[in-house]
Structure 1
Amino acid sequence: MSINITFISDTHELHNLLTHELPGGDIIVHTGDFSNGEDDPNDMRPLKQFLAWFSSLPYAHKIFIAGNHDFSIQAESFGRDALIRDLLSQFNVVYLNGKSHTVLIKEQQIKFYGVPFVTNLQGWAFFVDDRMHEQTANEIQTCDVLLTHDVPYHSKSLMNRVLEIKPRIHAFGHMHEHAGVIVKEGITFINGAQMGFPVYDHIYKPIRVNIDQNQVQIVNNNEVKVWDEFPMQ
């Protein structure tokens, strides 16, 4: 029996525009940049609003990571770890930051691993320098579905690790104009960005897949851009 997963990313506080396109299902995943990141990083309202919306969606499991705009959840930089943990505990969601989560559904297990780092935006949330970036990439665990915010072709270390562990799906966002899917080396790469660039308007569709023990199938093929090329190094 197949499990359906919906991928979204880079909603930038415009998540309400997507609600009508998210009818429900087994699992929904958001790969970062739920906020704009141009406001006061101590302002928790974007995070609270996102969590309220995301947790209300009619999916059995809701998993998300952060992105370079999401200062409000970068707890370690602002000394509010306890506050973030308490806030997350109030909502039926799973937040991944350098850790894994296994979903048991329909008598199957799907292991997710999520990490939010970006490599090319010093001064933004979750930026890592070259040394930490290589270490963080090497710490990524074997999984069925890998979630990163940055695209793999921005990072040789990340791409090498992806090709080493070979997740069935690698989902990310960050590069709005590169939203779409491609299958390479037996891996389904998904950029689930929702907003255009440089103008943040909702122009892309959520990407839906069915996954079972044998295959990953893109459900809404006619609504999703399929890349012709994808840099592997």
Structure 2
Amino acid sequence: MNMDNYILVDPLTAKPIECWKKYLRQGRISEPAKTLRLDSPIHEHKVRFVCISDTHEKLDEVLPLVPDGDVLIHAGDFTNYGDVGEVIKFNAEIGKLPHKYKVVIAGNHELGFEDGEEMNEKQLAGLNMLGITKAYELLSNCIYLCDRETKLFGLRIYGAPWHSMPGYSFFRPRGQKILHKWNQIPNGVDVLITHSPPLGHGDFNAWNKMDGILAGDVELLNTVEQRVKPKLVFAPN
């Protein structure tokens, strides 16, 4: 990628609420996504994506509720701690779904999935003994993406699990360190899957309201809007 296309750190990256208020004043507001009824017919000449996340070892409880489609996306936190049993269980459960392709990224709860992980933050959070390394190798019933892409139905799909929640796998602080990860997303990607959302998009919930922080990332927002410009972003909070 040409370095001229890279996104630079926003001066308000460490103050997400203040940053979002500034962007609101500038009119940077997107329309809510249009949703389909779950019983809508699948069109022969269209690709239907079904997006879920944060099942936390309970995918089996919602299997009957997951609508059919061409591509199932699971955007992370399919386990609680990344334990072997949890990963094996999830792999078996996702294999029962009828979708032709299943694409999965890790979330902050997939402890041990991050190769070459810095352990200091996990030790401070008391999570350093949880999870096993390379547990993603147990995922045989899906396409696992971590800073890479796959191509399905002619569409480029890229997955990146990074977030700014200290103590967990795939943590990077706001600013240059997490932007370094977003700068790896190639131009021209059609579908972008991340575990944390762009700033101001579904990232204001009760937990975040209490501590006055938005979970969304301004560098991801600018990457999506100014450089990558994907057709679809699935980024749960």
* Bin for the TM-score computed over the shorter chain: 0.5 to 0.7
Structure 1 runs of 4+ with >4 Å offset: none
Matched residue, 1:133: 178
Aligned position for 2:48: 4
In the TM superposition, what whole-angstrom CA distance separates every residue of 1:140-188 from its partner, at most 9, and x where no partner exists? 12311100000111211111110121100000112xxxxxxxxxxxxxx
Number of residues paired by the alignment? 161
Structure 1 residue 155 corresponds to structure 2 residue 221: no
Secondary structure of the equivalent of 1:162? helix
Amino acid of the structure 2 residue aligned with 1:4: R
Paired with 1:46 and 1:31, the residues of 2 have a C-alpha distance of 16
Deviation, structure 1 residue 122: 0.9
Q: Deviations over 1:189-225 (max 9, x none)?
A: xxxxxxxxxxxxxxxxxxxxxxxxxxxxxxxxxxxxx
Q: Which structure 2 segments of 5+ residues have no match?
A: 1-44, 118-130, 200-215
One of 80, 90, 96 as aligned partner of 2:133: 80
Residue 63 in 1 paired to residue 103 in 2? yes
2:88 to 24, 48, 57: 48
The Cα shift of 1:132 comes to 2.0
Higher strand share: 1
Give how far 1:74 is off: 2.9
* Alignment root-mean-square deviation, CA: 1.8
Aligned to 1:218: none
Alpha-carbon displacement from aligned partner over 1:107-132 (angstroms, at most 9, x marks no partner): xx11100000011x111121012332
* Residue of structure 2 in register with 1:100 after alignment: 149
TM-score by length of 2: 0.63
Q: Percent identity?
A: 30
Distance in 2, matches of 1:133 and 1:15, equals 29
| 2-structure distance, mates of 1:4, 1:84 | 25
One-letter code aligned to 1:149: H
Which structure would you say has the larger Rg? 2
| Structure 1 letter corresponding to 2:190 | D
8 A Cα contact 1:9 1:172, kept in partner: no
SS in structure 2 opposite 1:102? strand
Partner of 2:161: 116
Aligned equivalents of 1:79, 1:30: Cα separation in 2? 20
Which runs of 5 or more residues in structure 1 are unaligned?
Answer: 175-233
Q: Distance in 2 between matches of 1:162 and 1:14?
A: 31
Partner residue, 2:231? 168
What's the offset of the Cα at 1:133? Answer: 0.3
Deviation larger for 72-81 or 130-139: 72-81
Match of 1:199 in 2: none
Change (3 A) 1:68 1:152: same
What secondary structure is seen at the aligned counterpart in 1 of 2:219? helix
For residues 68-106 of structure 1, what are the alpha-carbon distances to aligned partners after superposition, in whole Å with 9 as ceiling and x for unaligned? 11114334438834x643x23xx23100000000013xx
- Seen in structure 2, the aligned counterparts of structure 1 residues 28 and 84 have a Cα distance that, compared at 3 Å, is closer
